[in-house]
Amino acid sequence: MSELRQDPTTREWVIMAPERSKRPQQTLRKRQIEVLPDWDKSCPFCPGNEKQTPEAVLVIPDSDGDSGWSVRVVPNLFAALTMEGSDGPLEEGGLNRGMLGLGVHEVIIDNPAHNTTLALMSYRQVEDLLSAYQQRYNVLKKDPRLKFITIFKNHGRESGTSLTHPHSQLVATPIMTPYYHRRFDVAVNYYADTGRCLYCDILTEELEKKVRVLVETGEFIVFHPYASRSSYETWIIPKKHSSSFGLFSEEHRPELAMLLKDILLCLYSGLDNPAYNLMVDTTITEDEDDPYYHWHIRIVPRLSMIAGFEMGSGIYINTRLPEDAVQHMKEIARSLPPDECACLKE
């Protein structure tokens, strides 16, 4: 028997239909990374090819002290938005509202190695990447024309990535994004009713119920949301109320890097390197201290396709209950050598 579950943060619905996991066509992804070279002379993101990209806006040096870099951030050569635009209206008139494509679109090259991925990088390398995310966020938020900054990563073909070399992206827009807008409306109403942050209350409940919590550390809770749209959707969320990723304290970055790497290694090992999207969900740049929102990192494995039903209805079908997926994640972590996924072992 399937279930319909409503996401308390968006009021949208998900169908939980474990029976559908028995459909014949479902296959997990094969490992592709192991057959790649560690350097590709034709790859614009590989060391030595830096001239093939626009000039870097941020370089994090390699901590090993040699002359190399750990993370490079460059303007996207095929930018969806650029700062040459204006935020005034376009003259289409009538019912249609538009504006020139003002904004910023950057590529964050996660690591010099062509054939690595966050799951296989060192904690220190993941920390450098998170530092790059945050540094760029904090530079761009100062521009009053940019209202919202979306940081994300596409891993694997089914995630929509177009280049193999591990990279993330940042898009800053002159508008509040629709996804944030929906969640913000729900969170503000909840705050008006209760005087509390919706996300803080969800965390309290999840810690009481325990069934969807993967791990709790000093600063973070990792859990699978009640109405996950995708099997194994995982959130890393700070325990203390904090609406903006930009204000996240540097001292807790190693803890976040450890969790992020271990979760992704768990997925990599147990689900055979699935494609996934990673998103940093944060508040608008203009009100980083708001009491409504609560920043988090959302990891969404792409184990099924977004098809006509999802597009026509806005309802997603998930074939594995989050309670079961969390148990599976714990089993995977336990099955790994002692030094792998240590923070996810009970």
The residues that are catalytic are 167
Per-residue CA distances from 11 to 50, 198, 286, 315 (Å): 45, 12, 25, 11
Give the three-state DSSP class for 240. coil
- Contacting range for its own copies; rule: CB under 8 A; set: 32-40, 50-58, 88-96, 265-273: 88-96
- Contacting range for its own copies; rule: CB under 8 A; set: 61-69, 126-134, 251-259, 297-305: 297-305
From 79, 188, 200, 343, residue interacting with its own copies (rule: CB under 8 A): 79
Contact 138, 73 (CB under 8 A): no
DSSP at 286: T
Contact 62, 51 (CB under 8 A): no
CB of 314 to its own copies, least distance (A): 3
CB of 173 to its own copies, least distance (A): 7
Nearer to its own copies, 27 or 67 (CB): 27
From 78, 142, 192, 289, residue interacting with its own copies (rule: CB under 8 A): 78
x/- mask, its own copies, residues 162-201, rule CB under 8 A, reads: xx-----x-x-xxx-xxxxxx---------------x--x
Q: Does 153 bind its own copies (CB under 8 A)?
A: yes
Nearer to its own copies, 22 or 142 (CB): 22
CB of 158 to its own copies, least distance (A): 8
Return the ∠ at Cα 127 (arms to 246 and 326), rounded to 5°.
90
Cα–Cα dist 300/30, whole Å? 18
From 65, 88, 94, 337, residue interacting with its own copies (rule: CB under 8 A): 94
CB of 251 to its own copies, least distance (A): 26
Nearer to its own copies, 72 or 167 (CB): 167
Identify residues 232-251 at the interface with its own copies (CB under 8 A): none
- The b-or-e profile of 264-296 (16+ CB within 10 A means b, else e) is bbbbbbbbebbbbbbebbbbbbeebebebbbbb
Binding residue count for its own copies, defined by CB under 8 A: 89
Q: Does 154 bind its own copies (CB under 8 A)?
A: yes
Q: Does 335 bind its own copies (CB under 8 A)?
A: no
x/- mask, its own copies, residues 265-294, rule CB under 8 A, reads: ------------xxxxx-------------
CB of 338 to its own copies, least distance (A): 33
Residues 6+ positions from 6 with CB-CB distance below 8 Å: 12, 13, 14, 227
Q: Which amino acid is at 260?
A: L
Where on the phi/psi map is residue 289: left (φ > 0), alpha (ψ -120 to 50), or beta? alpha
Give the three-state DSSP class for 317. strand
Residues 6+ positions from 312 with CB-CB distance below 8 Å: none
By CB atoms closer than 10 A (0-12, 13-18, 19+), residue 225 is buried
Nearer to its own copies, 54 or 254 (CB): 54
**Which run of H or of E encompasses 313?**
helix 308-313
Q: Does 131 bind its own copies (CB under 8 A)?
A: no
Cα–Cα dist 77/170, whole Å? 13
Residues 6+ positions from 186 with CB-CB distance below 8 Å: 8, 9, 10, 11, 198
CB of 25 to its own copies, least distance (A): 4
x/- mask, its own copies, residues 27-66, rule CB under 8 A, reads: ----------------------------------------
Nearer to its own copies, 213 or 317 (CB): 317
Nearer to its own copies, 40 or 158 (CB): 158
Q: Does 205 bind its own copies (CB under 8 A)?
A: yes
Nearer to its own copies, 120 or 187 (CB): 187
